[in-house]
Amino acid sequence: MGYGSGPWEFEGRALYQLSLVRVDEARRHIPADLPLVSLFGWTLGGLYLARYTSSPAGAFDELVALAGLVWDGPTSCAWAGRVLVNSPAALQHGQQAVGLPSHAARFQAAGHSAWWHGGTPGGEIAATQARGWGQTRAESAAPAAPCLVVSLDDQAGRRGQPGPEARHSPTLCALRLPTVPSRKVPRMKLTLPSFSGATEAVPTLLKYSLKMHARIQPCRRILQHPLEPEGEHDEHVAAIQRLTGGRAVLCLAFEDMKMEVQEPSPMVQETKKGGLLNRLFGRREPVLA
């Protein structure tokens, strides 16, 4: 069920929100050998929410909880702490080929969102009414109701791939999505480095390149409803809340998005002399093998 040989192409739209994450929380998800970009005990994590209308796995939805920024001199890149998808092919590819912490999930529209409903609904797993939403607690800073509830496909997660409808789907996050300005902006090209691996399925650290072409503009932030614990999934839910629920720094909308993702390559660790990070902190910078 893999994607085949790369590069792999994706089309759709996405929201990318950077928010503050405590360094001690980020370190729970990021390998110790990777230098972490931080200041006064904080790094930048957040979330990436995408609706792909075209991909090697077909149309599907994805939510990535970003744990923090790791150094890839002379730039930095975000490390994925959790990846939630509603496509069996995307789940298997992420786990087995790219070494991502991918989990099967359900994406349930709980209210109207022009951004969410503006594209082709994705995913091979039917959306169901997510349980656990009734347990959220009200806060004055929270919006009246969410637009999107993302829940864990518990039974699928136990088997490693999506399966029949689970009896219980613990809610992982409930989001209020922003309205994206309708103005047309010029298309931009970006090339972004990415790290992955250090998982049970792929213990080796990997590095790959992502090329993006999209209309990018700032928008209002994504609001998140706090959730009450749900028994055996307490830590799983809490981790996503800690990675995505910090103070938002910036939210960007990617429209008419086209991505080209290269196949990952193994990475080795060696000391690079003369780097600013080395001189200041004595840390090792990752170098592609």
Q: What CATH number is associated with residue 201?
A: 2.40.400
- Cα torsion 13, 217, 178, 55 to 10°: value is 10
Residue 1: inside a domain, yes or no?
Answer: no
Residue 271: band (very low, low, confident or very high) from pLDDT cuts 50, 70, 90: very low
Neighbours of 210 (CB within 10 A): 17
Is 60 contained in some domain? yes
Indicate the SS3 state at residue 155: helix
pLDDT tens by residue, 15-66: 999 999 999 999 999 999 899 999 999 999 999 999 999 999 999 999 999 9
- For β-strands 286-288 and 102-109, DSSP reports them as unpaired
Q: Please indicate, yes or no, if residue 3 is contained in any of the structural domains.
A: no
pLDDT value of position 106: 95
* Residue numbers of the domain that contains 245: 8-288
**Lookup result for tokens 């994706």:** 10
Residue 29 lies in a domain: yes
Q: Is 268 helix (H, G, I), strand (E, B) or coil?
A: strand
Q: What is the pLDDT of residues 156-191, one digit of tens each?
A: 544 444 444 445 678 888 999 998 888 889 999 999
In this structure, are strands 148-152 and 42-54 parallel, antiparallel, or unpaired? unpaired
CB distance 134 to 99 below 8 Å: no
User: Closest by alpha carbon to 34, among 278, 288, 269?
Assistant: 269
In a domain, 254, yes or no: yes
Phi and psi, residue 124, nearest 5°: -95, -10
Q: How far apart are CA 81 and CA 31, in angstroms?
A: 11
Residue 213 burial by CB count (10 A; 0-12/13-18/19+): exposed, middle or buried? middle
Report the DSSP beta bridge partners of residue 85. 62, 104
- Tell me the pLDDT tens digit for each residue of 110-142: 767 778 877 433 333 333 333 333 333 333 344
Q: Say how far apart CA 72 and CA 103 lie, in whole Å.
A: 26
At residue 230's C-alpha, the angle toward residues 225 and 231, to 5°, is: 155
| Per-residue pLDDT, 286 | 44
79-108 pLDDT tens trace: 999 999 999 999 999 999 999 999 999 999
Q: Does a structural domain hold residue 76?
A: yes
Number of structural domains the chain divides into: 1
Tell me, what's the pLDDT at 125? Answer: 36
Q: Does residue 73 have a pLDDT over 90?
A: no
Domain-located, residue 261: yes
